[in-house]
Structure 1
Amino acid sequence: MSKQRIAFQGELGANSHEACVAAFPDMEPVPHATFEEAFEAVRGGDCQLGMIPVENSIAGRVADVHHLLPSSGLKIIGERFKPIHFHLMANPGVTLDQVTTAVSMPIALGQCRRTLRRMGLKTEAAGDTAGAAKRLAEQPDPTRAAVSPALCAEIYGLDILARDIEDEHHNTTRFLVMTADANPPPPPFTQPCVTSFIFRVKNLPAALYKALGGFATNGVNMTKLESYMENGAFTATFFYAEVDGRPEDIGLARAFEELSFFSERFEILGVYPADPFRSR
């Protein structure tokens, strides 16, 4: 029987690829050029799951993902926190003193800025971390090195010249695990859970204040609340939120009832076990 498949955005060797391997070692990771293509692979049945990064402890939320989540037609069934480590890698036989330029995506170069400056290296932007390693393997150059995850060295036959060059070693990315199943099985009751949802409040004075009041009065811990615009309209502000608990918990059920009264749209995107990383 063929392996089940899990979609991610990026080239083979990307941090998202590493996250897939760590969380689902028995599944086949499948790369996609864009988040839209990764979502479509899950929605269309080519892949059974998707592994999507949503935020980083240093860089903040991943652009565009919050816009895509509500329209994806997918449900969130899990989360994974992955410590991010970058390595400086070059073509076989190249030594560090030969390298003059480090190549990677801007966000990765920014997270290694102090280390690269200390090494005396210039930087050059690439589309993504794994893509920089792949290009170096295809077009060898002793003056260039890629800043990429360790898996890239294994996949593209590169040598690691310096390990863990990120400036902040608490650098962590949070991923969401997505499924096309409209009614996925509920998580075990023995595990603490997170509920993700979106809403848009009615155009009334203090509507947001009133919509959120039920979470306070019912003792519900809201761990995330982010706003984003839909279709470029300044008046159509959506909110993406996460809370501890399950919709059937009496306190959260009452909070959602109050939220719905003051909202013109409300949708639960997923109920899933909290990653143990949260308690560290």
Structure 2
Amino acid sequence: MSEATKQAASENVIAFQGVPGAYSDMACRAAMPEMTTLPCASFEDTFAAVTSGRARYAMIPIENSSAGRVADIHHLLPGSGLHIIGEHFQKVEHQLLAPQGATMDSIETVHSHVQALSQCREYTRRQGMKPVVHADTAGAAKEVAELGDPSRAAVASALAGEIYGLQVLDANVQDIPHNTTRFIIMSKEPIDPPHDGTPVITTFVFRVRSVPAALYKALGGFATNGVNITKLESYIIDGSFTVAQFYADIEGHPEDRMVRLALEELSFFSREVKILGVYPANDFRGTVNGDD
């Protein structure tokens, strides 16, 4: 295969962390059904698939409506070398999957990713099932299928059940009915969404010194300029608990006057402000806010 042919093929590929049947796989298929999905062992491998040219995009889970943020992602994003160019909201409907012949009474342990187990905590507790953590949901389903042990079940997607030949013992076992995961779509090159009033999200990271009122001063410009912060997460980055890095999503384009003024004030009171992406807001945001 020539280099030109390889490049053309990779343009139609979107990478995700996990094995076939993972919720990230489902998100790829839902958001970009015309593209081929590429499973990767880790988030770092997913980023590398894009930077190396094996894939055009990466689909990365960022947070869940019931379990919160996805571990490690905020640490990895700034150094990924990629840019956020879109977002996707995927409804997560967990299925209790087991080998053929297993019954609810035979299940003793339930296997899945820590996030999925967290989203089904009350259900598995009521059923008396012992949770066992795996690297991803579909990988847990694959292992349960390979073992064929009627005492083991997996919490994963219906797609994973179909791929690995497992039966659905119980459907929609998540504790919260509106369980939804937000994904970001990443690319080697940034995009410049229309600056025409269309809803836009700007994502960035910044650091503040561990001194009184540092965060208050850094974020004051967003309040005074009427810029809505839709997400703000903090985490320690140097291991000494003296420097915090923040991940933030705001509504608006950096070229908007009020956003520009707010970012200028942020830069004055903080350091290492880095924009990770400017991209169209997903229509799901309007739906959950009751604007549909």
Question: Structure 1 length as normaliser, TM-score?
Answer: 0.92
Task: Name the structure 1 match of 2:173.
Answer: 165
Once the two structures are superposed, what CA deviation does each residue of 1:215-235 show, in whole Å capped at 9, x if it has no partner?
Answer: 111111111222222232422
2:45 to 27, 37, 58: 37
* Partners of 1:87 and 1:176 in 2: CA distance: 24
- Aligned partner letter, 1:109: L
The answer as to 2:16 corresponding to 1:8 is yes
TM-score calculated relative to the size of structure 2 = 0.88
Matched with 2:84 is 76
1:161-194 Cα offsets, whole Å, 9 max, x none, are 211011111221111110011x424247363111
Name the CA distance, whole Å, in 2 between partners of 1:204 and 1:103. Answer: 44
Distance in 2 between residues matched to 1:135 and 1:275, nearest whole Å: 35
* Change in 2 beyond 3 A, CA 1:215/1:145: same
Query: Is contact 2:96-2:168 (8 Å) kept?
Result: yes
Q: How far apart are 1:276 and its partner, in Å?
A: 1.4
Q: Match for residue 204 of structure 2?
A: 197
Q: Which residue of 2 aligns with 1:227?
A: 234
Number of the residue aligned with 1:269: 276
Tell me the residue number matched to 2:3: none
Does residue 101 in structure 1 map to residue 109 in structure 2? yes
Equivalent in the alignment of 2:146: 138
Q: How does 1:56-71 map to 2 (within 5 A)?
A: 56-71=64-79
Q: Which residue of 1 aligns with 2:193?
A: 186
* Alpha-carbon distance in structure 1 between the residues aligned to 2:128 and 2:266: 54
Task: Report the 3-state secondary structure (helix = DSSP H, G, I; strand = E; otherwise coil) of the residue aligned with 1:85.
Answer: coil
Counting matched residue pairs gives 279
Greater shift, 200-209 or 47-56, is seen at: 200-209
1:198 CA displacement: 1.1
Sequence identity, in percent? 54
Task: Give the secondary structure class of the aligned counterpart of 1:177.
Answer: strand
Query: Which amino acid in 2 is paired with 1:63?
Result: A
- Pick aligned residue for 1:214 from 221, 230, 251: 221
Give the structure 2 partner of residue 55 of structure 1.
63
Q: Would the alpha carbon gap of residues 187 and 177 (structure 1) be closer, same or farther in structure 2, given more than 3 Å must change? A: farther
Preserved contact between residue 208 and residue 243 of structure 2 (Cα < 8 Å): no
**What are the residue-to-residue correspondences of 1:140-159 with 2, within 5 Å?**
140-159=148-167
Counterpart selection for 1:253 from 246, 249, 260: 260
Residue among 173, 177, 182 paired with 1:174: 182
1:99 match: secondary structure? coil
Flag structure 2 segments of 5+ consecutive residues without an equivalent: 1-7
Measure the CA separation in 2 of the matches of 1:19 and 1:64: 20
